[in-house]
Amino acid sequence: MPSILKEKGPEELLKKYHLRNTDCRVKILESFQQFDFALSQGFLEEELKHSFDRVTIYRTLKSFLENGLIHKILDNEGGIKYALCSDDCSGGDHHHSHVHFKCEVCGQTVCLEKSTIPDVKIPKNFLVDEVNVLVSGICGKCR
């Protein structure tokens, strides 16, 4: 869990990842560090509405994703969310093995870093690249 992405300052992170230091990127990184749940593009748009265009936010997320600063989280309503990477995902080569949990009450999705992806048996002629697990239910806070 001790990920530099969650600990170092946004400006330092951008330098480390060879991304230019811009207001939008700093603000978005700050948002990810500030909230302890996964963020959707819509959430960030709302959060930064008066500061940046939605296309800029869209492109920033895309860039962060490609460079391994954030990872994508599936959603059962179609709307994808994002969270800071914990492992080393530099170069956009993501290596996550944790489960995601979506609360049906508060709607928040969180990374359960301690819940590792279990083994899934797949027909032997299939080649597995990635396994995504989304658990839905009620989170600790909402019970």
Name the residues that contact a second copy, by CB under 8 A. Answer: 72, 74-76, 78-80, 99, 101, 104, 112, 114-116, 118-123, 125-140, 143
Find out whether 38 and 110 touch, Cβ atoms under 8 Å: yes
What are the structure tokens assigned to 17, written together? 């990842």
CA distances to 50, 51, 56, 57 from 45, in Å? 9, 9, 10, 7
Tell me which residues in 69-88 interact with DNA (CB under 7 A).
77-80
What are the structure tokens assigned to 111, written together? 């990374």
Q: With CB cut-offs between 5 and 8 Å by kind, which of DNA, Zn ion, a second copy, none does residue 106 bind?
A: none
From residue 13 to residue 42, the character string flagging contacts with DNA as x (rule: CB under 7 A) and all else as - is -x----xxxxxxx--------------xxx
Q: Which helix (H) or strand (E) holds 29?
A: helix 23-34
Is 71 among the residues that bind Zn ion (CB under 5 A)?
A: yes
Supply the minimum distance, in Å, between the C-beta of residue 63 and a second copy: 18
Is 83 among the residues that bind Zn ion (CB under 5 A)?
A: yes
Supply the minimum distance, in Å, between the C-beta of residue 125 and DNA: 29
Q: How far apart are CA 74 and CA 80, in angstroms?
A: 5
Q: How far apart are CA 51 and CA 47, in angstroms?
A: 9
Query: Which residues partner with 73 through β-bridges?
Result: 81
Supply the minimum distance, in Å, between the C-beta of residue 23 and a second copy: 27
Residues that bind DNA (CB under 7 A): 14, 19-25, 40-42, 45, 51-56, 58-60, 62-63, 77-80
